[in-house]
Amino acid sequence: MSGYTIQSEGSKICVVMVGLPARGKSLIAQKIVRYLSWLSIPAKCFNVGNYRRLAAAHPTAEFFDINNPEGERLRRQAAEAAISDLFRWLEEENGMIAILDATNTTKARRDWILEICRRHDIEPMFVESWCDDEDLIMQNIMDVKTTSPDYIGQDPESAALDFRNRIRNYEKIYETIVETDITYVKLINVGSQVIINRIQSYLESRIVYYLMNLHIKPRCIWLSRHGESIFNLEGKIGGDSDLSSRGREYARQLPRLTRMSVGDRPLTVWTSTLKRTQQTAKYLPYRQLTWKALDELDAGQCDSLTYEDIESRYPEDFAARDENKYEYRYPGGESYRDVVIRLEPIIMELERQENIMIVTHQAVLRCIYAYFMNVPQDRSPWMEVPLHTLIKLEPKAYGTEVTTIKADIPAVSTYREKGQSSKKKH
């Protein structure tokens, strides 16, 4: 089931990335997929480089020279294979938004893709990342040389030199988008300026809205649940209880844990409106903002009950939630899907910001973590997010790096596995 009623004729989109290497195209493509998938809109990225690596796993810059006919043949072959799989997914597997992640730097290449798309009755949406910010380009080069599959096991400095030579080969033939008769978004220095042309559908407008909030500067997000609460000790869900003595100790130690990971970087802390998150963030020496959207999942008439109480009083609801935890809505309360919808403004603001720390609740952290890690909906409500643990997320071009820092402070486990009786430890 989709969170948005959009699966109608003509709603399928092929997003075509455009731009020189080291302009953040793959990061942007992956972010679009994560965002749409998080909103229950089927999206998938088809990276031409992955297809090309089947024939040329670790090519040098000469492979990308326009005067290298064998390199040109293999790159064209990879693009054809990616496009073939892309349309198979759209047409046979109920895909909605497919992203072709490649340089597509010439008008001739884009015209070829445009013609193929129109044969399939799909109007492509081109997304160009144009960048002349040398600091940003250099950071992307540093990122690529350490994370790109093309340079696995290679000396970092040699990889950086080769990658710069690859960029120069593409610069010789690069033609920025200037046509007025196609649908496109041009991102100038990712976030400084956005040019849009012929945006015609709801889904295209959603993608544009998302892209307008993006930047690709290096940054980290830190996530922490509130410290152990009185309700945690009592096995109750929801409510607005105070921290336990161990939870208060976590709050006192959190500044030290945070400094160990953050260093001297500027940081802003976001909390929910509930006491346990604000008490946990009390000693953090950073600017703090409170968000109602970060409040815990509303358990409705089950608020302040234990799982034993719920299983005893509402056995059908207890079983229904186990059956489909993402969609299940507490009577008078919320489902995980509802939480995702109210978190969308939080995600947009997160994408606009740089270093942010979020102190919030188990269900909310599961939804935020699922966004950054592209965790499927059927798994996200069952992820274990322990108390007294700081999670660092660092978005990269080819994925998000995760670091976990545990405080040496005991805490009750609030985790309950699927199908586990309420009478067992939760």
- Catalytic machinery residues: 101, 226, 296
At 302, the amino acid letter reads C
In 3D space, the residue among 369, 361, 404 whose CA is nearest the CA of residue 229 turns out to be: 361
Q: Give the CA angle between residues 130, 352, 22 to the nearest 5°.
A: 30
CB 314 within 8 A of CB 272: no
In 3D space, the residue among 320, 392, 334 whose CA is nearest the CA of residue 364 turns out to be: 334
Q: How far apart are CA 369 and CA 362, in angstroms?
A: 10
CB 19 within 8 A of CB 194: no
- CA 215: distance to chain centroid? 13
CB 227 within 8 A of CB 388: yes
Q: How far apart are CA 128 and CA 175, in angstroms?
A: 11
**Angstrom distances, CA of residue 270 to CA of 92, 185, 219, 223, 327:** 43, 31, 16, 10, 27
